Each structure stands twice: as C-alpha cells, then as structure tokens.
Amino acid sequence: MAEKQQLIEAIKNLDFNLLHELLDDNRSYMNVTKSLFLEALEKNILKHPKLTAYEEVIEGSCGNCFKGFNGYKFRAKNCPSLSLLFYEENGEVIDLFLCDNFITCQDHDDEYIISFSFFDDQEVDFQPTLEHMINVQNVNKAMEEFYSLVDKHNLSLKDIILWIRRHIDLIRKLKLDNFFTRNKYLAFAELKRTYFKISSIEEIYENNELAKQALADFDKIDKNDEKSVVKWLLQNQDFSTYFLEETEGWKNTGFRILSLEIDLVIDCSDCMDNFLLIDLHRTLESGLMEKYQPSDEYYEKHKRGIECTLEAHLRLHNKYLDLFE
C-alpha cells in the first residue's frame, strides 16, 4: 500500500500509533512539530467519545485560504468531520493542515467539524524579539507572584485586588484584558486565563454597599406578598458569583474558593453581603421558576421551549405583567 494511502487509512481509523510512524519527525505539520500536531489532533478527537473511527473519506479542496489545495474530508454519522489538506511534493505528503472551508461534491453544510489552532510561539519558525522575551519574563514574574499567594495565610480579596493593580498595566499592554482579542502567545495564556477569572473581583468591593442595601430592602417587604418578592428579584438580578465557589460553612467562615490551576481559598468576610445576596436571590428565583414552569402540554405544543428566565415563566402565566413594562 502506498504511503499516502496508508496515511489516509490511519486517519480514517484514528490510529495514532500508526500516524506517529508514518509522519516524519523532521517535518512540521501546520507549522508545528509532528508530536504537537498529533497531540492536538488526538486531544480534539477524544472530546467526542462516540468518534472511534471515520466511516467514509471524500476527496475535495480548499475553497478559501489555500484555494486549489487538495485533501480529504473524513466523516462519521453524528460525529464531527475532519477536513485535512495534503500538501505533496513529488508524490510525497510533506504537510497536513486543517481546512475550515473544505469543498466537496457533496453538500454537508449542516455538519460540524474538528477545528483547532496553535499559538505563534509554538510554531517551528517562531523567532522571539527582545521585546517579546522581556514581556515573557514580566509575565512569568507576575504569575510567580500570584501563586506565591497560595502560601499566604488568610488570603483575602484585597490581596487579589492589589495583585491586579500591580500588573494591570502589563495586562493591558499585552491586550490580555479583552476577552475577544486573540492572544497570540502560549507564554501569555495563563496570565489571560487568570485575569479573566479574577478581573471582576474589584466589583465585589464596589458593590458590597449596594448588596447590603438590597438585603435591607428585602427585610422590609412582606415575604407573603409574592409580587413584592418578584419586584425585589427583578431589581437585584445583576449581581454575579465572580467565579468564587462555596466552601462548607461559608456563611460562617467567609471562605470561598477560586479555582485556577490550583484552588485558592479566599477570605471574603469583608464582603459577605454580596454572596449572601446572591445566595438568597438564587434560592428565591429557583423556587418561583419551578412554581411557574411551563406545563408538559406547553412543551408538546412548542417544540422550541421557552427562555429559561423568571420573566419568561411569569409572562407565560400572565403574572405581574406590569412589572415588565
């Protein structure tokens, strides 16, 4: 069997051991090392347990960036397809790369595909500038400082906020504060993940007085008057959990958990009103949504279901419509 055909069969059967043998250690694939390319491919395949092998292979070509390059689409029922372009020289496959706009003679517009990419600093021809190397050093120092907080007894939200303020200029300089801006470098990925986990923590301090007032307002209303409770819920629905998970007995200790590469136990006792408000709001809202959930008959008639919000459930029952005007 020709080497190219062996390669196609190995991909079809998702035989990664054979792929390691067939692909050249000295070549790059998608401009990264063979091992990194196959590691990424296997990792994305394993996200789909039902995908154990592909059932058919369809020839085609790229319809966009690499127009005219030929390759194959690997398909299996109810599983994501895999479209790979084969770059050949003198009849030898010297590169493979994913294609997000693969054209075949068959129409598969509704299918979903295996897709992944690599950071610039993972590519084999990456040449870091002096500025980049300095940025990497600064990022590493920032992360070392962050994880040194693990050893601090009674780690508080103020400690996290001070860390943010010390490093926010670096984060902004590297454009890691914008969720929708692509981070091009693996070396900066952990700092970006960390920042987005903790960036809203400062709002806890800013909103704590508002939360305290909201709890005081709740104490004043008649708890048996459902409309008053609903009105209070609607007025105080913009508080979030800030990615801080509960610990056992948190209402007494004030301890919450920040889950990153490791779990950080944080003393939030200075800002407990936020978390007490969130807990109360969630409990009351869940009870009302269960009370006013759509009937089975409604779901039978409306296959699209209904928006999972308190407002949507109440509107369905024509309850308290004046609150939504």
Q: Could you tell me which residues come within 8 angstroms of residue 91 by beta carbon, excluding any fewer than 6 positions away?
A: 4
Per-residue model confidence (pLDDT) at position 296: 75
Per-residue model confidence (pLDDT) at position 195: 93
Mean pLDDT of the chain: 89
Give the C-alpha separation, 35 to 122, whole Å.
12
Query: Any idea which of 196-210, 270-284, 302-316 has the lowest mean pLDDT?
Result: 302-316
More confident residue, 284 or 299: 284
Check whether 1 has a pLDDT greater than 50.
Answer: no
Query: Any idea which of 34-43, 76-85, 106-115, 177-186 has the lowest mean pLDDT?
Result: 106-115
Check whether 68 has a pLDDT greater than 70.
Answer: no
Q: Provide the Cα torsion 317, 323, 324, 325; round to 10°.
A: 120
Q: Closest by alpha carbon to 60, among 101, 9, 114?
A: 101
Per-residue model confidence (pLDDT) at position 4: 86
Residue with tokens 């269960």: 290
3-class secondary-structure state, position 236: coil
The CA–CA distances, whole Å, from 168 to 14, 63, 205, 239, 291 equal 44, 42, 18, 24, 45
Per-residue model confidence (pLDDT) at position 287: 94
User: How far is C-alpha 276 from the geometric centre of its chain's CA atoms?
Assistant: 27
Q: What percent of the chain has pLDDT over 90?
A: 58
Q: Which two tokens stand for residue 267?
A: 């003393």
Average pLDDT over every residue of 301-309: 74
Q: Where are the alpha helices (DSSP H) in 115-180?
A: 130-148, 157-173
3-class secondary-structure state, position 66: coil
Give the C-alpha separation, 286 to 274, whole Å.
18
List, edge to edge, every strand of the sheet that includes 70-75.
Answer: 92-98, 82-89, 70-75, 56-62, 102-103
Q: What percent of the chain has pLDDT over 70?
A: 95
pLDDT digit string (tens) for 135-192? 999 999 999 999 888 777 788 888 999 999 999 999 999 999 988 889 999 999 999 9
Give the C-alpha separation, 291 to 319, whole Å.
12
Name the DSSP letter for residue 47: T
Average pLDDT over every residue of 278-286: 93
Which pLDDT band, with edges at 50, 70 and 90, does 67 fall under? Answer: low
Q: Which two tokens stand for residue 156?
A: 């508080």
Average pLDDT over every residue of 109-114: 75
For the entire predicted model, the pTM comes to 0.78
Give the C-alpha separation, 50 to 48, whole Å.
6
pLDDT digit string (tens) for 115-126? 999 999 999 999
More confident residue, 241 or 89: 89
What string of DSSP letters covers 79-114? S-BEEEEEEEETTEEEEEEE-SSEE-SS--TT--B-
What is the chain's alpha carbon radius of gyration, rounded to the nearest angstrom? 27
pLDDT digit string (tens) for 209-239? 999 999 999 999 999 999 999 999 999 988 7
Check whether 52 has a pLDDT greater than 90.
Answer: yes
Per-residue model confidence (pLDDT) at position 120: 97
Pair 83, 58: CB distance under 8 Å:
no
pLDDT digit string (tens) for 25-38? 999 999 999 999 99
